[in-house]
Amino acid sequence: LYPKQMEGNSTLLERGNCRAKGGSPGFKVAILGVAGGIGQPLSMLMKMNPLVSVLHLYDVANTPGVTSDISHMDTGAVVRGFLGPQQLENALTRMDLVIIPAGVPRKLGMTRDDLFNINAGIVKTLCEGIAKCCPKAIVNVISNPVNSTVPIAAEVFKKAGTYDPKRLLGVTMLDVVRANTFVAEVLGLDPREVDVPVVGGHAGINPPCSFTSEEAAFLTSRIQNGGTEVVEAKAGAGSATLSMAYAAVKFADACLQGLIGDVNVIRCTFVDSVVTELPFFASKVRLGRNGIEEVYALGPVNEFERTGLEMAKKELAASIEKGVSFAAK
């Protein structure tokens, strides 16, 4: 019955009532890549978000099962499933927020850049759909390598004449989530009381505290290699999915909080930037009704951080350039 009978008629997979509960405005959110390790828990968590009134679930495989499953949850959002490229435009039309976890994950021994050849094309195609069907949507890019896929998305939007740097955000929230957890472990704190901004490998901390140089080196390395720690533990079964879905929902929720006009919604994200000489950089931004309202400067950095920053910038420049050249082809 699916997807043939679904074409041009999404009501078969449309479930739930049409308004977010509790009088909230209710945003329309699309997730692209819902059948994957991140996509499934991310879809579940977004279905639980009271700010979401409509949830569009898209993948090139296995959308019906995920959609049916998620649609049984008794929360307010209407759930609709879309399978395959011929349904991409319907999935994207009138969306306020699009989250992209589509693409292959790392396996043992691979770098994120090894994913470029497959994921660059996937992100490019999906962003062409966004430019056509929901050019004003906020876009959260999760697919790796984020340092290249965000520049690819920007180039696609520029070509289509729809680029708004305030609305394109690379999701680096998992770095922050990990940093909060690892720092709390070292300092014996509750992770919920820790807020570590991860800025191009640079970390600071609140509440005020200090680290020995050994602790700083240990934490920096663990945060930078958190992804590999999970890839190795999963031993061939992919990379972080559950913590990523958690981080993605934290970040998407912040974007929606900004859209409804909450003040002081500040998160780290990889964005179009003048903070350094690079065209994109991850730093703290303030989110609001138009997406990014303000990108914050780095503030003072110590010698250890300056060295890390210079190393990170070299690698970043190459990844950004690789994405831009790919999209220009």
Which one among 230, 275, 295, 312 touches ligand LMR, defined by CB under 6 A? Answer: 230
* Residues tagged active-site: 202
Among 47, 106, 167, 322, the residue binding ligand NAD under the rule CB under 6 A is 106
**Helix, coil or strand: residue 5:** helix
Report the nearest approach of ligand LMR to the CB of residue 230 (Å): 5
Q: Which residues between 104 and 133 bind ligand LMR (CB under 6 A)?
A: 106, 112
Read off φ and ψ for residue 170, nearest 5 degrees.
Answer: -80, 130
147 binds ligand LMR (CB under 6 A): no
Q: Which residue has the tokens 């978000």?
A: 49
DSSP-derived secondary structure letter, 145:
P
171 binds ligand NAD (CB under 6 A): yes
- Which part of the chain contacts ligand LMR (CB under 6 A), choosing from 9-17, 163-171, 223-231, 292-300? 223-231
Please give the distance of CA 181 from its chain centroid, rounded to a whole number: 19
Q: What is the rounded CA–CA span in Å between residue 201 and residue 199?
A: 5
Residue 250's alpha-carbon distances to 168, 260, 261, 304, in angstroms, are 17, 16, 17, 30
Q: Where are the beta strands (DSSP E) in 26-135?
A: 27-32, 52-59, 78-83, 97-100
CB of 315 to ligand NAD, least distance (A): 16
Q: Quick one: what does residue 142 bind among ligand LMR, ligand NAD, none, with the CB cut-off 5 to 8 Å set by partner type?
A: ligand NAD
Number of residues lying near ligand NAD (CB under 6 A): 31
| Partner whose footprint covers residue 273, from ligand NAD, ligand LMR, none (CB < 5 to 8 Å by kind) | none
- Listing DSSP states for 210-242 in one string gives ---HHHHHHHHHHHHTHHHHHHHHHTTS-S--H
Piece in contact with ligand LMR (CB under 6 A), picked from 5-13, 77-85, 202-210, 222-230: 222-230
For Cα atoms 243, 208, 310, give the angle at the middle one, nearest 5 degrees: 70
Told to check if 91 binds ligand NAD by CB under 6 A, we report no
Does 35 bind ligand NAD (CB under 6 A)? Our answer is yes
Residue nearest to ligand NAD (CB): 36
Are 105 and 238 spatial neighbours (Cβ–Cβ below 8 Å)? yes
CB of 298 vs ligand LMR, minimal distance in Å: 22
Q: Does 135 bind ligand NAD (CB under 6 A)?
A: no
Nearest-angstrom CA–CA distance, 250 and 145 = 20
Pick from 16, 227, 308, 323: which binds ligand LMR (CB under 6 A)?
227
Binding mask 42-81 for ligand NAD (x = CB under 6 A): -----------------xxx--------------------
Determine, following the binding rule CB under 6 A, whether residue 103 of this chain makes contact with ligand LMR: no
What are 97's strand-pairing partners? 29, 138
Nearest CB to ligand NAD, comparing residues 37 and 308 = 37
Are 280 and 170 contacting, i.e. CB atoms less than 8 angstroms apart?
Answer: yes
Q: Which does 36 bind (CB under 5 to 8 A by kind): ligand LMR, ligand NAD, none?
A: ligand NAD
What residues does 95 pair with on adjacent strands?
none
* Alpha carbons 17 and 112: distance in angstroms, whole number: 40
Does residue 168 touch ligand NAD according to CB under 6 A? no
Kindly report the backbone phi and psi dihedral angles of residue 180, in degrees, each rounded to the nearest multiple of 5, phi listed first. -60, -45
Residues of this chain that bind ligand LMR (CB under 6 A): 106, 112, 144, 174, 226-227, 230-231, 239-240
